[in-house]
């Protein structure tokens, strides 16, 4: 992608769209679908969920400056929160020219079959493991498409879980779901296998469901932010902030929320199940006491090295990724070829958003930049409409007084002036 994206945020909507179209090869129809807020057809929405009565829209922005493994990406992000897209783009710019390095595991998900009424766990485990090959074959009878693509059930594990209601044998079926998020496919496999597991063990199968703690499907990313660009004090501040999160769950929750600001926005834009990613991320963070999903340290030259690791179950097919036309356009803008690549990009945005938030807090506090971007929302909250939204927002920024009370005063002033005109 050769187009220059510097100053993208200063352009008007039509100019931004023209640049995007040129860079990504979107058709005129796709561009129209993006800007036409009615492009998720009510008939399609009615197919997607139950009791449909309408469609709720979320703004989509493009994060720029992302270079990942040497390739430049434009990243669609859907979020209602101001400053997420700007923060990601800014962090990515500071990481240039090297950008981010990212990698991910094969897309292997865990399906769980809960066996209760287990009298002798070791015996149950031995029986199941002795039938491993047959079980995998039976699992793979279900989804020929995934199998043709090189996916399917690859292994099984049997875990002992001791509970107040007795010992349970938990069978994990490890399924390579290729470019799907995988929940439906894995759940189907679990339901298919459970009668056979009951038959050979004499135990009772209860839950048969995917685990969102996708520990075999992690994505990782790193970036180096130079000492010359950040300054030593900011680097020391970010390290202090990281160690705060590492040792305090109250801070850590907010740190990880900032990480998910970036990741969720990419997942929403691509029609992915962000609750699944959230559950997996926080469960992973809590495996050994609740810890940050990101990590910061200094390299030998004193530069700041940031990294992230988390389970990321995302898909290019399945779920709503193909039903929602905007999700399809997002994937075209991204130009990713596999679920692995999408997970890597999402991990980079998580790291970028976390870094940007820490840097802002260390430098000037998070509110200065955030409130500037939020000023228009505050003006609307106070009752402003039309051009007044921009005028009231910029006046509050000029006055360094971005608050609902000031916005309400200004709405009254502008209304009075409007009546006199």
Instruction: Name the residues annotated as catalytic.
Output: 81, 257, 273, 370
Selected range binding ligand NAD among 10-18, 34-42, 298-306, 316-324, rule: CB under 6 A = 316-324
Contact residue for ligand NAD among 30, 72, 143, 341 (CB under 6 A): 143
| Nearest approach, Cβ of residue 209 and ligand NAD (Å) | 7
Within 175-214, which residues bind ligand NAD (CB under 6 A)?
Answer: 177-185, 187, 210, 212
| Interaction of residue 270 with ligand NAD, rule CB under 6 A | no
Q: How far is the CB of 30 from ligand NAD (least distance, A)?
A: 22
- Among 61, 318, 350, 369, the residue binding ligand NAD under the rule CB under 6 A is 318
Smaller CB distance to ligand NAD: residue 49 or 56? 49
Q: How far is the CB of 222 from ligand NAD (least distance, A)?
A: 27
CB of 144 to ligand NAD, least distance (A): 8
209 vs 246, which CB is nearer to ligand NAD?
209
Nearer to ligand NAD among residue 135 and residue 183 (C-beta): 183
Write the CB contacts of 35 (distance below 8 Å, at least 6 apart in sequence): 13, 17
Among 62, 87, 95, 146, binds ligand NAD (CB under 6 A): 146
Using CB under 6 A as the binding criterion, the count of chain residues that bind ligand NAD stands at: 24
111 vs 262, beta carbon nearer ligand NAD: 111
User: Between residues 153 and 396, which has the closer beta carbon with respect to ligand NAD?
Assistant: 153
Q: Which residue from 44, 317, 361, 408 is in contact with ligand NAD, where contact means CB under 6 A? A: 317
Q: Between residue 238 and residue 257, which ones bind ligand NAD under the rule CB under 6 A?
A: none
Give the residue with the Cβ less far from ligand NAD, 207 or 417: 207
- Report the nearest approach of ligand NAD to the CB of residue 212 (Å): 5
Closest-CB residue for ligand NAD?
318
For binding to ligand NAD (CB under 6 A), which residues are involved? 143, 145-146, 149, 151, 177-185, 187, 210, 212, 273, 276, 315, 317-320
């Amino acid at each position: 992608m050769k187009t220059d994206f510097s100053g993208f945020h200063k352009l008007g909507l039509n100019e931004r769209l023209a640049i995007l179209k040129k860079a990504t090869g979107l058709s005129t129809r796709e561009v129209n679908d993006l800007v036409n807020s009615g492009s998720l057809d009510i008939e399609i929405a009615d197919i997607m969920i139950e009791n449909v009565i309408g469609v709720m829209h979320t703004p989509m922005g493009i994060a720029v400056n992302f270079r990942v493994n040497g390739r430049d990406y434009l990243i669609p992000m859907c979020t209602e929160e101001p400053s997420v897209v700007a923060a990601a783009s800014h962090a990515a710019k500071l990481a240039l020219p090297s950008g981010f390095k990212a990698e991910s595991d094969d897309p292997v998900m865990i399906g769980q079959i809960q066996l209760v009424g287990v009298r002798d766990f070791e015996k149950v485990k031995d029986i199941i493991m002795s039938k491993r090959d047959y079980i995998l074959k039976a699992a793979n009878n279900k989804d020929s498409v995934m199998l043709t693509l090189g996916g399917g059930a690859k292994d099984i594990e049997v875990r002992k879980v001791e509970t107040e209601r007795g010992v349970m044998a938990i069978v994990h079926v490890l399924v390579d779901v290729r470019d799907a998020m995988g929940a439906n496919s894995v759940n189907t496999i679990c339901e298919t296998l459970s009668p056979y597991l009951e038959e050979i063990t004499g135990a009772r199968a209860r839950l048969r469901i995917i685990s969102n703690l996708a520990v075999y499907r992690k994505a990782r990313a790193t970036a180096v932010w130079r000492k010359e660009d950040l300054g030593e004090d900011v680097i020391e501040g970010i390290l202090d902030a990281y160690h705060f999160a590492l040792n305090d769950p109250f801070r850590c929750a907010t740190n990880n929320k900032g990480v998910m600001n970036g990741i969720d926005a990419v997942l929403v834009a691509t029609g992915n199940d962000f609750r699944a990613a959230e559950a997996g991320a926080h469960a992973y963070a809590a495996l050994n006491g609740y810890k940050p999903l990101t990590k910061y340290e200094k390299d030998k030259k004193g530069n700041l090295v940031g990294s992230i690791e988390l389970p990321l179950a995302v898909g290019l097919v399945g779920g709503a990724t193909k039903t929602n036309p905007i999700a399809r356009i997002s994937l075209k803008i991204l130009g990713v070829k596999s679920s692995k690549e999408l997970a890597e990009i999402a991990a980079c945005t998580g790291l970028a958003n976390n870094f940007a938030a820490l840097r802002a807090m260390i430098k000037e506090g998070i509110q200065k930049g955030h409130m500037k971007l939020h000023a228009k929302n505050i003006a609307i909250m106070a009752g402003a409409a039309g051009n007044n939204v921009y005028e009231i927002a910029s006046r509050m920024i000029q006055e360094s007084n971005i608050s609902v009370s000031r916005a309400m005063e200004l709405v009254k002033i502008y209304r009075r002036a409007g009546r006199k005109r």
